[in-house]
Each structure stands twice: as structure tokens, then as C-alpha cells.
Amino acid sequence: MPRYKLTLEYDGTRFVGWQRQANGLAVQEVIERALFAMSGEIVVIRGAGRTDAGVHATAQVAHADLSRVWRCDVLRDGLNAHMRPHAVAIILVEAVDDTFDARFSAVRRHYVYKLRNRRAPLTLEADREWLIKRKLDAGAMQAGAQLLLGTHDFSTFRDSECQADSPIRTLEQLDVSREGETILVRVAARSFLHRQVRSMVGSLEQVGSGRWTPQDLRAALDARDRKFCGTVAPAAGLYLVGVDYEDTPG
């Protein structure tokens, strides 16, 4: 049975998240409906990252098994036509062998979180960035971020509904930089706990605003207790921007 790797982007604002749920429309469901419209098959796809409601993606990866061979460009264009008017687009379709799994073959996931640091309200980016009106010190945020790198028990930054077997994760990248009004937080790891990125960003905002020192952030990590986490950053600023596999540069 031919397997296809799908690279896609979406605006998560009006979705309940990536994964099919009973309480609303999911990105997964939109793609599966389009696959049925094209092929007549009921196909369940697997995604590399189960993004939450309101979270966006510029390079989510999924795979689908179909009973017939499709030309990749025809499959891409057909799916995009059938997904209209939903804010989901297949960027690339590739034929892969059946050992490829969008979720379990991934060796690294990349996220970017966007904060807009200004007094004026957001207009064009209202559902795409987190507006912070008080002045943020990106340098202090970067200093604190470096204290979270490596392998740790991230219980402090783990949502209470997280179903992972272990709170231990290895954080490979956590970098904070400013580009004008926008502060970007770039994060990479093989896997993350539920809402770990948004929890870390919310705590980094505490450092940037001067409410915490970088050492306070490290102390929160070491406490291994959810009650020491800062405010969880809203979903709107978070983007899944890349998934690495063995043949992808890290």
C-alpha cells in the first residue's frame, strides 16, 4: 500500500487542534475528508505534532496510506482543492516507504513562539502573536532560557492533563531574540510534554518583565512542581515550524 508524506501549513485559530475531537473541527479531520473526496477511502492520517487549539503550523508533517499510486503533485493539488475554504494547505507530497512514520520517525521538532512587545493593540496579528505591553528584556529572557537547556525533569512546565509516561525531556534549543517589536522564542527537542513550550514561554515572560531573575526560572525548573510555573502563554503565538527526520539536517 503506497504511503505518502504530507508537509502542510495551517492557521489554527478556528480549529480545536490537530487531533480529531468530538467538540469541533480538527485539522486532521479536514485532511481526512479531502482524502476521502479524492480517493473514496476512509483514511486515518498520523501527524508529527498534536498541536492544541489555536496553535499554528508552517511545516507540520503527516503520513497517509492509500490503496492506489498517486502522482505527488496531483495528490497535493487535489487535496488543496477539496480543503477549501479551510485555512489548511498541503505544501509538499512525497512518496515514502512503509517504514516512515510521521510521528515515530521524527528525531526533532521545532517550534517558534511570537510575542509582540508594544503598547498598541494588535490588528493583523491578533490571533498570531501574544501582545505584551510592558517592556521586555530579551537579553534577560535569553539568559534564563539557557538555564533550561539539557535533560531535566520538566514537571513544572507540564500541563496537569499531560499523558506522557515521564516528565524527563531533553531540550536541545531555547533561544530568545528581538526583531523590532517582536520577540521570538525558538525551541527544539525530540519531543515535548503537553503545553511545555507555552509554559516555558510564559515563565520567560516573567523574566523579561523583571518579575523573575534568570535564577528564579531555574529554581522553578528545579522545584519540579506545576505550581511554580508562570502564566501559560496563549496558543495564538505558537507555531510548529519544522520536523526533522534522520535524513534531515539538524
Q: What are phi and psi of 108, to 5 degrees?
A: -165, 140
Does the active-site annotation cover 52?
A: yes
At residue 151, what is the residue type? T
1/112 Cα distance (integer angstroms): 35
Q: What are phi and psi of 147, to 5 degrees?
A: -80, -10
C-alpha cell at 170: 531533553
The catalytic residue among 11, 52, 77, 98 is: 52
Instruction: Map residue 134 onto helix, strand or coil.
Output: coil
The CA-based angle 211-206-183, given to 5 degrees, is: 130
The strand ranges marked E within 118-181 are 130-132, 150-153, 168-179
What positions carry a catalytic annotation? 52
